[in-house]
Amino acid sequence: MEIVKQPWPWYIAGPLIGLVVPALLLIGNKSFGISSSLRHICSACLPAKLPYFNYNWRKESWNLFFVTGIALGGFIAAFFLSNPTPVAISSSTVTDLKAIGITDFSHLMPADIFSFDQLFTLKGLVFMILGGFMVGFGTRYAGGCTSGHAIMGLSNLQWPSLIATLSFMVGGFAMTWFIFPYLFKLF
């Protein structure tokens, strides 16, 4: 059981994630992606006749089971298989984060940003609510999420997925190094 509680090296976890692509293609000619599941949920739950949600979501119901399994697996991992040792972060990263005011490294995510206490503050509104909206908008604008484009699209040699993945990476680096430190100090 200890092997499940420890982080797996990239050369084990990466190929396992990568094998999801041929498995889905072989099992039922399905594409891997998470963002489409929210559309399926909205289509199933909203009786409105909006054109975007007006399709046969039942054909893609397998995706809802897949996402439910991800959420259930995350719950089990967090509450029953958690590793009590702190997350290993390089000392230079800790120094950089402390310089902008992030000091709590006791959890997987810094509690200075990601906690229920922070959710109802201006900082929480900006980082979690507005940030989540921007991620959702970007996912819709790009025609898929990072997992769909970077894992499924690149393995199928799709040019739009290469552009989307490069854009995700450039945007992530720009946010991490140039925008986030100033935005975090601002709030």
Closest CA to 147 of 70, 32, 65, 14: 32
pLDDT, position 167: 92
pLDDT tens digits along 41-78:
888 888 777 888 888 888 888 888 988 998 999 899 88
Please report, for residues 28, 74, 135, the alpha-carbon distance to residue 112 in angstroms, rounded to integers and kept in the order given: 43, 22, 20
Amino acid at site 175: M
Compute the C-alpha angle 80/70/151, nearest 5°.
Answer: 130
pLDDT higher than 80, residue 87: no
Does pLDDT of 32 surpass 80?
no
Task: Decide if 40 contacts 173 (C-beta within 8 A).
Answer: no
**Helix/strand/coil (H/E/C) assignment for every residue in 97-123:** HHHCCCCCCCCCCCCCCCCHHHHCCHH
- Going by C-beta distance under 8 Å and a sequence separation of 6 or more, which residues neighbour residue 62? 28, 30
Per-residue pLDDT of 97-128, as tens digits, reads: 899 888 888 777 888 888 888 888 888 888 88
For the residues 158-177, what does the mean pLDDT come to? 92
Q: What is the pLDDT of residue 169?
A: 93
- Angle at which helix 159-174 crosses helix 131-142, to 10 degrees, equals 160
| Mean pLDDT for all residues in the chain | 86
- Residue 30: which residues within 8 A CB-CB, separation 6 or more? 24, 62, 63
Helix extents (H) in the chain = 2-5, 10-18, 20-28, 36-45, 61-80, 91-99, 116-119, 122-124, 131-142, 146, 154-155, 159-174, 180-186
